Structure 1
Amino acid sequence: MLYIISTPIGNLGDITLRAIETLEMVDILLCEDTRKTGILLKELKIKNNIKLVSFYDEVERQKIPQVIEWLKEGLEVGLVTNAGTPLLSDPGWLLVKKCQELGLKYTAIPGASAVINALILSGLPMQRFSFLGFLPKKDRERKKILEKYKMVEGVKVVYESPNRLEKLVGEIKETYGKEVQIRICREMTKKFEEVKNGMDGDVRGEVVVVFI
C-alpha cells in the first residue's frame, strides 16, 4: 500500500501520531531529498531500517514502474516531501494516478500544510481560494498567470523565494491595483514566525504570499 505522509513545515511538534506510526512500519520511503528526510527520521527517533529512495520531479516518471512493482509485491511504501503535505508543488500525483489506474491501494496521512497555515494566519476571507504554487520565473509567463487569476473570486496563495519576493509583490500590485491586500507569511510554526502586511523591510526564510 502507498502512504502519502504529511510532515512538519518547521515545528517538529506538529508531526502526528499516525504519521509516526506509518513511518515506523513502511518498508520503503520515497523522499524529495533523502538527506533531509534522514535528518527528520533521526529527530523523531525512528530507527527501523527504512529504505530511502530519491523521488523528485525530474525522476518521478522513470521511478514509477519500480514503485508499482514494490506495491504489487505487497511492500508498504511511504511518500514524503521535504516539509508539509506531499503533491502540493511536489512530486507524487503521477504515482497516485497510476495507483488509481491499476487499482492499487493508497491513502493520505494528513498533517501540516503551508498553504492552509498561511490562509489561517492571513486574516483574509478564505471561503474560496486558489493555490498557484510557485509561479514561473519568466516575467511574461508569471504576469499571464496573475492576469488570469484576477478574474477568479477569492484569495490567491503563492509560494515564493525571498530573493524574488519584492518583484512579485510589485507585479501583484500592478495587476490587482493599489487596493490589493497582501500578506507575507514567513517561518511559519517556527520561533520567528511572522505575517507582514505587504512588503515591509527585509524578508528571509521560507515564504508564502496570500493576496486578494
Structure 2
Amino acid sequence: MLYVVATPIGNLGDMAPRALEALKGAGVIACEDTRRTWALLSHFGIPRPPEMVSYREGNEARAGARILELLRGGADVALCTDGGYPGISDPGFRLVRDVVAQNLPMCVLPGACAVNLALVMSGLPTSSWTFKGFPPRKPGALRRFFEEEAAMPHTLVLYESPFRLGPTLAAAAEVLGARPAAVCFELTKLHERVERGTLPELAARFADAKVKGEITIVI
C-alpha cells in the first residue's frame, strides 16, 4: 500500500494522527530529504524504518521505479515531502500516476496544505478556484501567464518566492487591474500574517519591500 502523507508546513502540532500511524507502520519511507524526514520522525519518537528512499525532483523516475517494485512486492510505503502534500508543487504526482495506472493500492491522508489555508484566509471566493504553483520568472512569460488567466472567472492561487513577490504583484496588477487579492506569509508559523488589498495596492506596498519566508498569493 502507498500512503501519501502530508507533513506540517511549519507548526509540528499540525501533524495528523493518521499520518503518524502511517509513518510508524511503513516498512519504507520515500521522502525528499532523508535527513529532514529523519528529524521529523525523531521528534515524534518514530524509529527509523528498515528502508528510506530519497524521492526528489531530479530522481523521480529512478526512485519511482524502486518504490513501484517495493509496492508490487507487498511493502507498505509512506510518501512524504519536506512539508505539505506530495504532488502539490512537490514530488509525488508521477508516482501516484504510476500507482493508479498499475492498479496498486493507495491511501491519501489528510493534512496541512498552504493552498487550502491561504484560500480560506484570503476572504476571496472559494466556490471555484485554480492553483498554478509557481509562476514564470521571466517578465514576458510572467505577463503572458496572467493574460491567460484574465478571462477566467475563478480565484487564482499561486506560490511565490520572497525575492519575486514585487515583480509578480506588479505584473498581476498591470494585466488584471484592481482585483482584490491577499498575500499570505509563513502560514502556520510564528510570524504568520496576511496582507489584503487590490493588486495595485499590494504591488505598491511590496514594490521595494524586503520580505522573508514562504508566500502564497490569492487573487
TM-score (norm 1): 0.94
May I ask how many residue pairs the two structures share in their alignment?
A: 210
SS of the counterpart of 1:86?
coil
CA distance in 2 between partners of 1:16 and 1:56 (Å): 23
Q: Deviations over 1:123-142 (max 9, x none)?
A: 11111111010112222222
In structure 1, what is the equivalent of residue 126 of structure 2? 126
The gaps in structure 1 that reach 5 residues or longer are none
The gaps in structure 2 that reach 5 residues or longer are 197-201
- The letter for the 1-side match of 2:124 is L
CA distance in 2 between partners of 1:69 and 1:143 (Å): 43
CA distance in 2 between partners of 1:135 and 1:32 (Å): 22
Equivalent residue for 1:205, pick from 198, 207, 213:
213
CA distance in 2 between partners of 1:206 and 1:54 (Å): 23
8 Å CA contact retained: 2:124, 2:181: no
Identity of aligned residues (%): 37
1:104 positional shift? 0.8
In structure 2, what is the equivalent of residue 71 of structure 1? 71
CA distance in 2 between partners of 1:171 and 1:89 (Å): 22
1:17 positional shift? 0.5
CA distance in 2 between partners of 1:53 and 1:139 (Å): 38
CA distance in 2 between partners of 1:116 and 1:163 (Å): 23
CA distance in 2 between partners of 1:101 and 1:203 (Å): 42
Alignment of 1:184-195 (within 5 A): 184-195=183-194
TM-score (norm 2): 0.91
CA distance in 1 between partners of 2:212 and 2:50 (Å): 34
Q: Deviations over 1:154-175 (max 9, x none)?
A: 1111100101111101001011
SS of the counterpart of 1:7?
coil
CA RMSD across the alignment: 1.3
